[in-house]
Amino acid sequence: MNTNILVIGGTGKTGRRVVKQLQDKGIEPKIGSRSATPSFDWDNKDTWVKALEGIKKMYVTYYPDLAVLGAKKAIESLTYLAKELGVKKIVLLSGKGEVEAEACEKIVMNSGINYTIVRASWFNQNWSESFFLEPILSGEVALPMPDVLIPFVDADDIAEVATVALLDDNYNNTIIEVTGPELVTFKDVINTIAKASNRSLHFHSITLEQYVEGMKQMQIPADVIWLIEYLFSHVLTNPENQKITNDIEKVLGRPAKTFLAYAEETAKTGIWNQVKVEEL
């Protein structure tokens, strides 16, 4: 059993996929999460030392995002500790077009530890494993900025790239920007999911202010509301985020997964055809 690789966020969207990728290669990583033994809790630094014991490489994701208040300080502290404890490589998941995330990247890049920054656009899985799932299940999807072009990227592709970066020193001290192979709008997304899942979905264009107000009424945590408002107002409109890269193809030797392929695969799981409890 090889446990000198730590996957922080090892139960999350990309983290659990990185764990699976490593296991498929015969490597058993240590999972960094509150539920693991030993546990890793971003809010409790006392857990960090035990989680990092004997670790040489780590994949790091910060929940909910590197842009939120407190992320920079946490990444700074973790990176310092990692260096003290002899960690040799950090693969950091970051977000494209996020100034705050880039500040966190710089901490890792300037640490003297080998690094790979995996800078990702918005995930396909936001529609099946995150905050956009609920509206899909309701059949009524109300979002601002319906025509913004987004190169949605698949979490499987991100995880595969991150796994290669962990294991292959050719990617040391580089930034890999991962996007999907096409630009799609929210309207495109809803139409694609509707067809793939054989459902009737209604899209409503609303203002960002209305969207934020709706999240408050749903009692979504304040830091998540801040993050989503920030992503809509600063990140989606950043011209850098509307550029397609071919880094996935360069690293993996195959094209990035299309949104249609993701939607068809996901529809087969039945996740979009669940009956909501309140409808029973």
Closest CA to 6 of 30, 26, 40, 39: 30
Alpha helices in 169-274 (DSSP H): 186-197, 208-217, 222-230, 247-252, 259-269
Peptide bond into 64 cis (omega under 30): yes
CB 62 within 8 A of CB 108: no
Q: Apex CA 125: angle with CA 108 and CA 114, to 5°?
A: 15
CB 263 within 8 A of CB 199: no
**Average pLDDT of 89-103?**
94
78 Cβ neighbours under 8 A, 6+ residues apart:
8, 48, 60
In this prediction, residue 1 carries a pLDDT of 53
**Average pLDDT of 229-246?**
90
Residue 168's identity, in one-letter code, is: D
Q: State how far Cα 46 lies from the chain centre.
A: 26
Average predicted confidence (pLDDT) for the chain: 94
In this model, does residue 280 exceed pLDDT 60?
no
Neighbour count for residue 79 (Cβ, 10 Å) = 24
pLDDT per position as a tens digit, 247-259: 999 999 999 999 9
In this prediction, residue 274 carries a pLDDT of 85
Residue 220 banded pLDDT, cuts 50, 70, 90: confident
What radius of gyration do the chain's Cα atoms show?
19
Q: Helices 222-230 & 208-217, crossing angle to 10 degrees?
A: 160
In this prediction, residue 89 carries a pLDDT of 98
Neighbour count for residue 196 (Cβ, 10 Å) = 19
20-37 b/e (C-beta count within 10 Å ≥ 16 → b): ebbeeeebebbbbbeebe
CATH number at 5-185+236-276: 3.40.50.720
Residue 197's identity, in one-letter code, is: S
pLDDT per position as a tens digit, 97-112: 898 999 999 999 999 9
Q: What is the pTM (predicted TM-score) of this model?
A: 0.95
